[in-house]
Amino acid sequence: MKRRRPRIVIVGAGFAGFSTARRLSRLAHGAAEIVLINSTDYFLYVPLLPEVATGILEPRRVAVPLAGTLPGVRLVLGEADALDLDRRRVGWTDPEGHHHDLGYDRLVLAVGSVNKLLPIPGVVEHAHGFRGMPEALYLRDHITRQIELADAADDWHERAARCTFVVVGAGYTGTEVAAHGQRFTDALVRRHPRLKFGERPRWLLLDVAPRVLPELDPRMSDTAFRVLKKRGVQVLTGTSVAEATEDGVRLTSGRFVPTRSLIWCVGAHPDPLVADLGLATEKGRLIVDAFLNVPGHPEVFACGDAAAVPDLGHPGEIAPMTAQHAVRQGKAAARNIAASCGHGTRRPYEHRDLGFVVDLGGVQAAANPFKVPLSGPVAGAVTRGYHLLAMPGNRVRVAADWLFDAVLPRQGVQLGLVRARAVPLEHTAPEVPAAPRGGQRD
Ligand SMILES: Cc1cc2nc3c(=O)[nH]c(=O)nc-3n(C[C@H](O)[C@H](O)[C@H](O)COP(=O)(O)OP(=O)(O)OC[C@H]3O[C@@H](n4cnc5c(N)ncnc54)[C@H](O)[C@@H]3O)c2cc1C
């Protein structure tokens, strides 16, 4: 009797899951059935989302189609919502609400993360996060709308509030959003005669840490701070939000900032599917050993933001939530799964930091490839080159948008397709718009 091929099911096609699938398909040569379950039909290149939100890139540029990109991998569109580790079955709901399930011989959990919440009054109701495509589309429209409504307003206070944007969290996400945001609103204002000669839009970037980019090399923080300051972004370190209301935010310093825009970039929390498993976690991430294996379940692997992977370079710590780690963990998981099926030998996950890039808009960036600190246009070129190389597709389209942005004015139109209620901060699947709940301001 012919032996059935082992079935490997990967949940999540982000940085970790995509690279697991790609590496496995190369290693397996058809000897295993590889199934990839994902909530969207594309791989989202998250690091370029700030450029989508600020009108530089069209959204589909950062959405690399899964179909045709992963030969030998069966794609399943849906949200995994039922994992039975004892019976080795995974269940999912497709976009039309139908339930399905499938058995597996090996399972990879690479479900990523969602917005991290903090118990601050009013934040869940009035802030918007920045994890997925719907939030980026919403923010692009929202910013545009605020400038248009400010132009139409007769009341000076309303105009000032609508032209004020508060970003909480000065990690790489918040820093990029504020840096790009200031340039975007400056460009929008130039088209609005009543605002053109008035007050310039204000961007505030807050963090409780003493410097921007607190988790990165201090030399990158210095570069980013210099660029932000020169651009006019107000950086408030040692400061957070004490309360958010419909009309503005009260800072921990006691100051009240009138605004209609609170952008929440305080970090990420592992996808709720992890907590539902009832397995051991660290900081909400699923505990795995150095081989990306879930203890007690040799057939289950986890990687990326959802997994607490030991950082062998820093004993006692777990690897940070970055795309760089997620990609490499995905490859390591693939190698170790192949080893568990009798092909090759397994190896622990080890990764040497190759540096980081932070795009600050225009020709500015802060980068430290191989620990060499770079700033200005050189860093800008390295950053864009890095992103083009790291993307698994759509490179020409992205480069074309960058070229258009360099020579043409920014397009200031809102399509209004993603409303505020579709992107609540407290959302378990930031990759897809939420079902209407009502009650939130558009
Ligand atoms: C705005 C922003 C900018 C960033 N910039 C950088 C950067 O410059 N450099 C860097 O190294 N890191 C950056 N990061 C962090 C980086 O994006 C994450 O660490 C990385 O995406 C983690 O990869 P992942 O595969 O674990 O998760 P993700 O890339 O988030 O992928 C998770 C996938 O799982 C799918 N999924 C989730 N739940 C389910 C489910 N139940 N069923 C089916 N599918 C599911 C999702 O649709 C998604 O496709 C940035 C993050 C953000 C938000």
What's residue 16's pLDDT?
98
Distance 402 CA to ligand 1 centre (A): 23
pTM of the full predicted structure?
0.95
Q: Whose CA is nearest to atom 44 of ligand 1?
A: 38
Q: Answer yes or no: do 25 and 140 share one domain.
A: no
pLDDT at 231: 97
Structural domain includes residue 329: yes
Q: Which residue has the least CA distance to atom 4 on ligand 1? A: 47
Give me ligand 1 centre to Cα 272, in Å.
14
User: Do 27 and 105 lie in a common domain?
Assistant: yes
Domain match, 134 and 87 both: no
Q: What is the pLDDT of residue 439?
A: 46
At 331 the pLDDT is 97
User: Tens digit of pLDDT for each residue in 210-244?
Assistant: 999 999 999 999 999 999 999 999 999 999 999 99
- Give 283-296 pLDDT, tens digit per residue: 999 999 999 999 99
Residues of the chain with pLDDT under 50: 1, 438-440
- Report the distance separating Cα 420 and Cα 152, nearest Å: 21
Say if 175 falls within a structural domain: yes
Using the atom order of ligand 1, give the atom closest to the CA of residue 18.
25
Point out the domain boundary residue: 340, 365, 399. 340
Beta carbon of 54 within 6 Å of any ligand 1 atom: no
* Ligand 1 pocket, residue 305 CB under 6 Å: yes
Quick one: 150 and 287 in the same domain? no
Residue 437: the pLDDT is: 53
What is the per-residue pLDDT for 352? 83
Tokens 């020709």, located at residue: 363
131 and 103 housed in the same domain:
no
Token pair listed for 406:
């360099």
Q: Could you tell me the residue range of the domain that residue 386 belongs to?
A: 123-266+355-422
Question: Is residue 398 in some structural domain?
Answer: yes
The rounded Å distance from CA 200 to ligand 1 centre is: 34
Per-residue confidence (pLDDT) for residue 436, from 0 to 100: 62
Ligand 1 centroid vs 43 CA: distance in angstroms?
9
- Final residue of a domain: which of 305, 340, 375? 340
Indicate whether residue 14 lines ligand 1 (CB < 6 A): yes
Distance, CA 417 to ligand 1 centroid (Å)?
Answer: 23
Shared domain check, 309 and 248: no
Long-range contacts of 227-231 (CB under 8 A, 24+ apart): 227/179, 227/360, 227/364, 227/366, 227/375, 228/175, 228/178, 228/179, 228/182, 228/360, 231/179, 231/182, 231/183, 231/361
248 and 383 share one domain:
yes
**Cα 299 to middle of ligand 1, angstroms:** 23
131 in contact with ligand 1, CB cutoff 6 A: yes
Q: Which amino acid is at 377?
A: P
State the closest ligand 1 atom to the C-alpha of 268, by its place in the atom list counted from 1.
53
Q: In whole angstroms, what is the distance from residue 31 CA to residue 26 CA? A: 10
> Do residues 109 and 141 both lie within one domain?
no
Nearest CA to ligand 1 atom 7: 47
Return the best residue to mutate from 44, 46, 271 for the ligand 1 pocket (most ligand atoms within 8 A of CB): 46
Mutate to test the pocket of ligand 1, among 322, 387, 391 (most ligand atoms within 8 A of CB): 322
Give me the amino acid identity at 313. G
Q: Are residues 217 and 144 part of one domain?
A: yes
CATH number of 202's domain: 3.50.50.100
* Total number of domains in the chain: 2
Looking at the fold, whether 277 and 147 belong to one and the same domain comes out as no
Phi-psi region of 324 (alpha: psi -120 to 50; beta: other; left: phi over 0): alpha
Q: Is the CB of 16 under 6 A from ligand 1?
A: yes
How far, in Å, is the centroid of ligand 1 from the Cα of 193? 40
CATH code of the domain covering residue 311: 3.50.50.60
- 163 is a domain residue: yes
Q: Would the CB of 134 count as within 6 Å of ligand 1? A: no
Distance (Å, whole) CA 142 – CA 123: 17
